[in-house]
């Protein structure tokens, strides 16, 4: 069954209200389950496949999109020795 664009939005809004009520009642396990249901609806609303979400999660978990410069690789003692020999005149 194909849904009209935006048809899931009212369900998402209602689920947000239910999540808020469950959180207020300190039902954290229920909140976690409801948030998973919300994620499912959001993915369907935006046409995101499960494998796409898994790839993004994988990349985020490994810092793929972090805005940090990469650290230079540490040289081995042999590499440092070779550089020292090249620099010193014989």
Q: What pLDDT, on the 0 to 100 scale, is given for residue 53? A: 86
Q: What pLDDT, on the 0 to 100 scale, is given for residue 64? A: 74
pTM for the structure as a whole: 0.61
CA distance 5 to 45: 7
List per-residue pLDDT tens for the chain, 90 residues long. Answer: 566 768 999 999 999 999 999 999 999 999 999 999 999 999 999 999 989 988 888 888 887 766 665 555 566 666 667 666 666 555
Q: What pLDDT, on the 0 to 100 scale, is given for residue 86? A: 65
Domain extents in the chain: 1-50
**Three-class DSSP category at 1:** coil
């Amino acid at each position: 069954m194909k849904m009209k664009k935006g048809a899931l939005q009212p369900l998402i809004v209602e689920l947000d209200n239910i999540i808020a009520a469950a959180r207020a009642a300190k039902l954290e396990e229920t909140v976690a389950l409801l948030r998973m249901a919300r994620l499912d609806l959001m993915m369907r609303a935006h046409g995101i496949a499960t494998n796409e979400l898994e790839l993004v999660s994988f990349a985020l978990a490994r810092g793929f999109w972090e805005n940090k410069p990469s650290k230079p690789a540490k040289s081995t003692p042999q590499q440092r020795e070779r550089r020292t020999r090249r620099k010193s005149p014989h």
